[in-house]
Amino acid sequence: MKNFSTAALLLVLASAFVPTAQAQTSTDANVARCAFRADAPDRHVVVRGDTLWDISGRFLEKPWCWPQVWNLNRDQIRNPHWIYPGQIVYFDRAQGRLRIGDGSASAADGATATVRLSPRIRSEEAGNQAIASVSLREIGQFLTEPLIVDADELAGTPRIVATREQRVVVGNDDTAYVRGDLGDNKEFRVFRSGKPLKDPSTGKVIGYEAAFLGTMLLKRTSTEENQPHTFVVTSVKQEMGVGDRLLPIEPTPFINYVPHPPAQPLQGQIVSIYNGVSQAGQNQIVTINRGRNDGLDIGTVLELQRLGRTMRDRTSTEKETIKLPDERYGRLFVFRVFNNISYGLVLQVRDTVQVGDVVSSPE
């Protein structure tokens, strides 16, 4: 493994990365745009509840500059080597770089004590202890529900065909009968295709938000072709009944993508605000009209912008028209991506978010 003498910002999280001269020039340019905060601490002890966004915001003027400052490539952004409670992030002001240390006395003295983490296998339990990109408290339910689907995406999924005693709706502990291929699954979430989501700029339907209704558990598998499977309702969020669709319950994913700007310049708009309200504030969930097909991935940070309105200058005797400046007023963290739509968590806003507002690559 080679030693580095450059003053460029560098942290080796799991494997050695030796930059070429061209890459080094690029790194220097990135560093120039990714300044440290004037009040950045000398060190930060990672504690349970910290997030990558929180920690990067302690040291950097622009938290989404995390990948540039830590010199992460795209694979490391998508599958970063996680930071765990108990580790210490040091700001070496003399060298102009960040390091992860183990808390020993020598680590505080300089570069020689930098802890270089080598590749290792971590258990799933340990992975769950790693710090996430952002707080899962606000986005937890959105990692598996609600769900963006195409018009016919739920068509081939198992469906409720009848209920015991022909009830119109079912509740907790009620029995329902289901037809369809269950695979090897026993636990299911129940959905109903919901409202169409339209692109604000074109008016075209780009997806449907399937409403999450509750969960069901398989009690008895069908043994005959024309006989449905027997299920029991284990939880109810909204009324469910005949015609509603089932999808297997999947483990909640751990959102460990590093916050980062989009790979390519991007601009889109707010499609909807969850719960059907007209405005959103900090820590609320919105959908945008850009997704996987536009190059978005989990962890992408976008800026929220309101286009300046055109109005008449009432102070002018010439009845002139003026356009107010566009205003950037907050940030959005993309945490779930579909083909043409994504869910985003509103961060650090100075104004309310409205449908039709612009999202764009951060400056």
> Which domains are seen in the chain, by residue range?
21-137 (no CATH), 145-248 (no CATH), 267-360 (2.40.10.410)
The Cα 143–Cα 130 span in angstroms is: 18
* Residues across the chain: 363
The Cα 281–Cα 274 span in angstroms is: 11
User: What per-residue confidence (pLDDT) applies to 11?
Assistant: 35
Any long-range contacts for 61-64 (C-beta under 8 Å, 24+ apart)?
A: 61/34, 61/35, 61/36, 61/37, 62/33, 62/34, 62/35, 62/362, 63/259, 63/301, 64/259, 64/260, 64/261, 64/301, 64/331, 64/362
User: What per-residue confidence (pLDDT) applies to 189?
Assistant: 93
Instruction: Confirm if 174 and 164 have CB atoms less than 8 A apart.
Output: yes
The Cα 279–Cα 273 span in angstroms is: 7
User: What per-residue confidence (pLDDT) applies to 231?
Assistant: 97
With bands split at pLDDT 50, 70 and 90, how would you rate the model's confidence at 120? very low
Nearest to 257 by CA among 20, 53, 17: 53
Residue 261 has pLDDT above 60, yes or no: yes
User: What per-residue confidence (pLDDT) applies to 130?
Assistant: 79
The Cα 54–Cα 226 span in angstroms is: 55
User: What per-residue confidence (pLDDT) applies to 69?
Assistant: 77
With bands split at pLDDT 50, 70 and 90, how would you rate the model's confidence at 201? confident
User: What per-residue confidence (pLDDT) applies to 103?
Assistant: 54
Highest mean pLDDT among 12-16, 191-195, 202-206, 227-231: 227-231
With bands split at pLDDT 50, 70 and 90, how would you rate the model's confidence at 106? very low
- The helix/strand/coil state of 227 is coil
